[in-house]
Chain A
Amino acid sequence: MAGGYETVIGLECHVELSTATKMFCGCRNEFGAPPNTNVCPVCLGLPGSLPVPNERAIEYIVRIGLALDCEIAPRSVFHRKNYFYPDMPKNFQISQYDLPVCVNGHLDIEVDGEVRRVGITRVHMEEDTGKTTHGSASGRIHEADYALVDYNRAGVPLVEIVSEPDIRTPEEAGAYLRELRATLEALGVSDVRMEEGSLRCDANISTRRVGEEGFGVKVEIKNLNSIRSLERALRYEQERQRAALEAGETLVQETRHFDEDRGTTHTLRSKEEAFDYRYFPEPDLPPLEPDRAWVEALRASLPELPAAKRARYERELGLRPEPAVLLASSTVQAAFFEEAVALGADPVAAANWITQDLAGMLNKAKVELAEAKVTPRHVADVVRLVADGTISATGAKQALEVALETGEEIEAIVEARGLRQVTDTAALAAWVDEVIASNPGPVEQYRAGKQGVLGFLVGQVMKRSGGSADPRAVNELLRERLSGG
């Protein structure tokens, strides 16, 4: 029966914190350094070395917990998670088990204009592992004849954020991850770059009949390297599970790997092959007992988070939900937008320019907004000059493109390139007449009653004017001449 199934999704996200140093030693925490250059006896797990917690990392996880409305545990404990793997220097990972730093929070997401609340089960502190590269003549993992390990990442502070199974669709999962990324970015605690692995995500997905209270058989999906692959993998897995259940098959609890190229998932290991991590309290580290006054001070100093920002943009600045979501999800974009508004730009127009035209230009030029030559002043000027009729939308786009490239002021660009909108009837009339003369076919069609051709003729005039003509005036003038004919 169609619609008889419901998908249940929970996400486990790993976030590398952007602290200056690693979690338990003084080594630098940076991405992309030459292999094994940011290492010391502690993060290499040399015999006799001991971990000492990074206070800044503890501050960051408490901020994350507060942003997600979690309870900050008065006492939390580090545990050892034991398993053998060459990229883990001690063959155990310092993590947390039954007493994490943060519990019982939530994150509100907006999907299709509706707000949904996703519970946060826990947020805990741990250390990252090194990275193994398998090498062989053929380049295939299963034919590898050696492995190289880079321990630069070993001991980087890592926070795991586990959601409740409150997510119902792949789109909601995507929205959750976007919202989480935006929140972490606003907190300034991580680079949140999925392509560099500073934000990683595993998904748990199961299927049950609508109305059922219990959960179906859970499948964990790994290797999700972008929000897009998260949504793709979940869509595939959702269909696979439904098809299996409809065919009367039994699903098995397992871990599946997402194949980016094929867009499918396949079995990685079954429940029986799962590790026994033999968790026990880390005897080298005393329990974490954060001072309440310190926690409250951190709470008071939290920045405005994306959800609040979004609400403010909609309520106070009159933005529609779509641009509000886009702007609020990026700290850089939001700050850029607010500065343009502060310079007098109309918020709705500025939001549209930033999230549509400018975003497209940046994307095409492969430039980050933070590094671009274009400034909020440029956007504010464009908005103002379009509003007062000095330039057309087309001219404005051209001016902004030049500004992005050169950083020149908009008004200088407008003057230098002759983008000032021509409303002078005499000048327009000359272009209009030329177009009528050189397009007898369309003119004939228009006169025969095909109104749609007018747009084509307006476009021809605009082209002839190099974008400087006022399209409204051209439109009127054309109608006048063609009907008067």
Chain B
Amino acid sequence: MTEGRDLCDRSASELAELLRRGEASSVEVTRACLARMDALEPRLNAYLTRTDDLALEQAARADERIASGDAPAVAGIPLALKDVLSTRGVRTTCGSRILETYVPPFDCTPWARLSEAGSVLLGKTNCDEFAMGSSNENSAFGPVRNPWDLDRVPGGSSGGSAAAVAAGEAVWALGTDTGGSVRQPAALCGVVGLKPTYGLVSRYGLIAFASSLDTVGTFTRSVRDAAVLLQAIAGKDPMDATSLPDPVPDYLAALTGEVRGLRVGVITEAFGEGVQPAVAAGVRAAVDRLADLGADVGEVSLPHTDYALSAYYLIAPSEASSNLARYDGVRYGLRVEGRDSVEMMARTRGAGFGPEVKRRIMLGTYALSAGYYEAYYGQAQKVRTLIIRDYDAAFARYDVLVSPTSPTTAFRLGEKVDDPLAMYLSDVFTIPANLAGVPAISVPVGLDETGLPIGLQLTAPVLREDLLLRVADALERELALDLRCPAIAGQGQSGA
């Protein structure tokens, strides 16, 4: 499907085949990605740290392994990691001044598994500071630009990973999704974004934003690639007490292309006020195609969706206020000296955190304080239970649920920075899945009138990633979109 394109613009599955047949090498693919970065980074700012030398070294080793005939599916395919995922010996900043110089002494489990399997690390991608944001404008190191329109945001918080995959600066990438931070940027950048069930992928080494909501997710050019990448990182990790013990199924086997008789519930609340008409139309058109393929389509209500956003903005900041307490200048990262340790901590945090992080720390500290806990945190946990029940009821009638991923396509840089509430609304459809811990995927289903990608979100019950992938793959095949963002258009055979 992507033949004739630069190596760095092809799908991982296609590249794996080329590598296996010896028609391309990992070093060549890696060089193509690095060349694309050279060309586009001055404009995109998707990477915070490049690891060119490491990547070429790993690529050379992967080539030897592939030549020996027994390499895992991810071997030799260049990858980008969101800069909240710890990498041993490679600076990991969380998009924050406070960790600008921090170099972890250990790998996060997802990267440890990929690295073991011969993956190639291109670098660490830009993101909203500590994954707090929906536009990537909260990075301390400047915003990422959307490769579909450089005046627009790539979404957030994993904006760098989404933009890199869309622009051929990486073949695939990992991000993190706490309230939509994989799915929303995937939608805004026209790539596939998968947020797995909470606990399916280890959080060990994922620098926490909100521990009970954080998940590691994938950015890929195809649903098939998502299945392959998820396969490589999923499964119980003894280092994460919340990781699930369940055996991991064969995700590729789920890609049957068959959706006949599958019950698809369209979420009523997701087509109301505030949804861009082109987005609603694009998603509905895609649902019609699923019906054409034999899916059994109906409407379903998630009545507590309205409260999800409020509950999220109490739970996530509460946990964040505690998770981010460790950045105090005592052991690592930025330190601003003071007369005593209290002043040193206060000055370090004052200088090291950006305004959105401070806003959420204050919000969370307040919500947990004596006398307010029950009214805020306690109440939000009750809403969370109601949302889980909404899903339980919906999944009693439907196999998967459908909504737009984001109410709008990519918005302009600066458009919402002064209005946090408007910014928070862009995650209104993605947040409920995090609160309930269920898996969801965003797949591109077309372009709006200005040529910006539209994302459709599918949600499935806990640990039914197989269903998500099956439906998303069938839809992808049926739509057969040939998405190519304008930023790439001028690149020609740059990797050659």
> Which A residues form the contact surface with B (CB < 8 A)?
41, 44-53, 80, 82, 84, 86, 89-92, 147, 149, 276, 278-280, 283-286
Query: A84: which B residues are within 8 A, CB to CB?
Result: 325, 328, 342, 345
> Can you pick out 29 interface pairs between chain A and chain B where the beta carbons lie within 8 Å of each other?
A41-B105, A41-B106, A45-B331, A46-B104, A47-B94, A47-B104, A47-B207, A47-B326, A48-B85, A48-B86, A48-B206, A48-B207, A48-B208, A49-B106, A50-B240, A50-B242, A80-B322, A82-B321, A82-B322, A84-B325, A86-B341, A90-B325, A147-B341, A278-B365, A279-B368, A279-B373, A280-B368, A286-B241, A286-B242
With a cutoff of 8 Å between Cβ atoms, the chain B residues found around residue A41 in the complex are 104-106
B residues 312-359 touching A (CB-CB < 8 Å): 318-319, 321-322, 325-326, 328, 330-332, 341-342, 345
Contact, CB under 8 Å: B242 / A91? no
Shortest distance in angstroms between A475's beta carbon and chain B's nearest beta carbon?
Answer: 73
Q: Is B487 an interface residue (CB 8 A)?
A: no
A407 to chain B, nearest CB (A): 49
Q: Mark B469-482, 1 if CB is under 8 A from A, else 0.
A: 00000000000000
Complex contact B369–A86 (CB within 8 A) = no
- Cβ–Cβ < 8 Å partners of B331 in chain A: 44-45, 89
Q: B residues within 8 A CB of A283? A: 210-212, 242, 319
The closest CB in chain A to the CB of B341 belongs to A86
Residues A278 and B326 in contact, CB atoms below 8 Å apart? no
Q: Are A52 and B239 in contact (CB under 8 A)?
A: yes
A91 & B241 in contact (Cβ 8 Å cutoff): no
State in angstroms the CA–CA spacing of A48 and B102 once bound together.
12
Task: Map CB proximity to A onto B425-458 as digits: 1 under 8 Å, 0 otherwise.
Answer: 0000000000000000000000000000000000
Tell me whether A278 and B322 are in contact in the complex, defined as CB-CB below 8 angstroms, given that A48-B208, A50-B241 are known contacts. yes
B92 within 8 A of A: yes
In the complex, the answer to whether A90 meets B368 with C-beta atoms within 8 Å is no
Which one of B92, B205, B373 lies within 8 Å of A280 (CB-CB)? B373
Determine if A276 and B325 form an interchain contact, defined as CB atoms under 8 angstroms apart.
Answer: no
**Cα distance, A283 to B210, chains bound together (Å):** 9
A82 and B86 contact, Cβ closer than 8 Å, known pairs A45-B326, A46-B104, A286-B242:
no
Q: Is the interface of A mostly helix, strand, loop or mixed?
A: loop
Contact pattern, B 387-425, Cβ under 8 Å of A = 1, otherwise 0? 000000000000000000000000000000000000000
Q: Per-residue 0/1 for B202-221: is the Cβ within 8 Å of any A Cβ (1 yes, 0 no)? A: 01111110111000000000
- A250-B86 Cα distance, complex, nearest whole Å: 56
Contact of A82 with B330 in the complex, beta carbons under 8 Å: no
Q: How large is the interface on B (under 10, 10 to 19, 20 to 34, 35 or more residues)?
A: 35 or more
A143 CB to nearest B CB, Å: 12
Q: Is the CB of B104 within 8 A of A284?
A: no
Cα of A284 to Cα of B208 in the assembled complex, Å: 10
Question: Cβ of A149: which chain B residues have Cβ within 8 Å of it?
Answer: 330
Q: Are B241 and A48 in contact (CB under 8 A)?
A: no
Bound complex: CA A296 to CA B104 (Å): 44
Enumerate chain B residues within 8 angstroms of A279, measured Cβ to Cβ: 368, 373
Q: Which residues of B contact A276 (CB under 8 A)?
A: 369-370
- The answer to whether A46 touches B105, judged by C-beta atoms less than 8 angstroms apart, is yes
**Is B294 interfacial (CB 8 A cutoff)?**
no
CA distance A82 to B323 in the complex (A): 10
Task: Check B241–A280 contact: CB distance below 8 A.
Answer: no
Tell whether B108 is near chain A: CB-to-CB under 8 Å: yes
Shortest distance in angstroms between B351's beta carbon and chain A's nearest beta carbon? 16
Q: With an 8 A cutoff between CB atoms, is B99 at the interface?
A: yes
CA distance A91 to B377 in the complex (A): 20
Any A CB within 8 A of the CB of B249: no
CB-defined contacts of A80 to chain B, threshold 8 Å = 322
> How distant is the Cα of A283 from the Cα of B326 in the complex, in angstroms?
16
Residues of A within 8 A of B240 (CB): 50, 52
Question: Hey, which chain A residues are within 8 Å of B368, CB to CB?
Answer: 82, 278-280
Q: How far is the CB of B192 from chain A (nearest CB, A)?
A: 26
Contacts of A278 in B (CB 8 A): 321-322, 365, 368-370, 373
Residue of A nearest to B237 (CB): A50
CB-based nearest B residue for A284: B211
**B261 in the interface (beta carbon within 8 A):** no
- CB distance A50 to B326 under 8 Å? no
3 closest A-B pairs by CB: A91-B325, A283-B212, A283-B211
A278–B345 Cα gap in the complex (Å)?
A: 19
CB neighbours (8 Å) of B212 from chain A are 283
B238 at the interface (CB under 8 A from A): yes
Closest A-chain residue to B105, C-beta based?
A41
Kindly name the residue among B85, B108, B210, B328 whose own CB sees the greatest number of chain A CB atoms within 10 A: B328
For the complex, give the distance between the alpha carbons of A368 and B312 in Å. Answer: 59
The reply to whether A280 and B86 form a contact with Cβ atoms under 8 Å apart is no
Residues on B with C-beta less than 8 A from A89 are 326, 331
Taken together as a complex, chains A and B put the C-alpha atoms of A384 and B450 apart, in Å, by 106
The reply to whether A52 and B241 form a contact with Cβ atoms under 8 Å apart is yes
* Residue ID in chain A nearest B328 by CB atoms: A91
Cβ contact within 8 Å between B241 and A284: yes
Q: State which of A50, A86, A280, A285 has its C-beta within 8 Å of the C-beta of B322.
A: A280
**Bound Cα distance A452, B102 (Å):** 85
Q: Mark B100-143, 1 if CB is under 8 A from A, else 0.
A: 00101110100000000000000000000000000000000000
Task: Name B243's closest neighbour in chain A (CB-CB).
Answer: A50
Tell whether, in the assembled complex, residue B370 and residue A280 are in contact, meaning their CB atoms are under 8 Å apart. Answer: no
A157 shortest CB reach to chain B, Å: 15
Rounded to whole Å, the gap between the CB of A150 and the closest CB of chain B is: 12
The answer to whether A50 touches B239, judged by C-beta atoms less than 8 angstroms apart, is: yes
Option from B204, B330, B377 in Cβ contact (under 8 Å) with A48: B204
B334 shortest CB reach to chain A, Å? 13
Is the beta-carbon distance between A47 and B365 smaller than 8 angstroms? no
**Separation of A87 and B54 alpha carbons in the complex (Å):** 36
Q: Is there an interface contact between B205 and A48, defined as CB atoms closer than 8 Å?
A: yes
Q: Please give, as numbers and ranges, the residues of chain B lying within 8 Å of A48 by CB-CB distance.
A: 85-86, 104, 108, 203-208
Query: In the docked arrangement, what's the CA distance between A48 and B330, Å?
Result: 17
Q: State the Cβ distance, B466 to closest chain A Cβ, in Å.
A: 25
Who on chain B is nearest to A78 by CB? B241
CA distance A82 to B322 in the complex (A): 7
Q: Determine whether the beta carbon of A53 is less than 8 Å from that of B241.
A: yes
Interface centre among A47, A52, A82, A86 (most CB of B within 10 A): A47
User: Looking at the complex, which one of A49, A53, A86, A92 makes contact with B330 (CB distance below 8 Å)?
Assistant: A86
**Residue of A82, A280, A284 ringed by the most chain B CB atoms within 10 A:** A280
Cβ–Cβ < 8 Å partners of B104 in chain A? 41, 46-48
| Alpha-carbon distance A48/B99, docked complex (angstroms) | 13
Given A50-B239, A50-B241, A52-B240, 16 more pairs with CB closer than 8 A: A41-B104, A45-B326, A46-B105, A47-B92, A48-B108, A84-B325, A84-B328, A86-B345, A276-B369, A279-B368, A280-B318, A280-B377, A283-B319, A284-B241, A284-B242, A286-B242
Residues from chain B with Cβ under 8 Å of A51 in the complex: 241
Q: Give the residues in chain A near B330, CB-CB below 8 Å.
A: 86, 149
Q: Which residues of B contact A286 (CB under 8 A)?
A: 241-242
Q: What is the distance, in angstroms, from A284's C-beta to the closest C-beta of chain B?
A: 5
User: B208 to chain A: which residues have CB within 8 Å?
Assistant: 47-48, 284
Convert B31-68 into 0s and 1s, putting 1 for each residue whose CB lies closer than 8 angstroms to a CB of A: 00000000000000000000000000000000000000
CA A279 to CA B365, docked complex, whole Å? 11
Per-residue contact bits, chain B 6-23, to A (CB 8 Å; 1 contact, 0 not): 000000000000000000
| Contact residues in A for B94 (Cβ distance below 8 Å) | 47
Q: How far is the CA of A286 from the CA of B212 in the complex (A)?
A: 11
Q: Are B204 and A92 in contact (CB under 8 A)?
A: no
Please measure, in the bound complex, the distance between the C-alpha atom of A223 and the C-alpha atom of B85, giving whole angstroms. 42
A47 neighbours in B (Cβ, 8 Å) = 86, 92, 94, 99, 102, 104, 207-208, 326
Closest residue of A by beta carbon distance from B349: A84
Q: Which residues of A contact B377 (CB under 8 A)?
A: 280
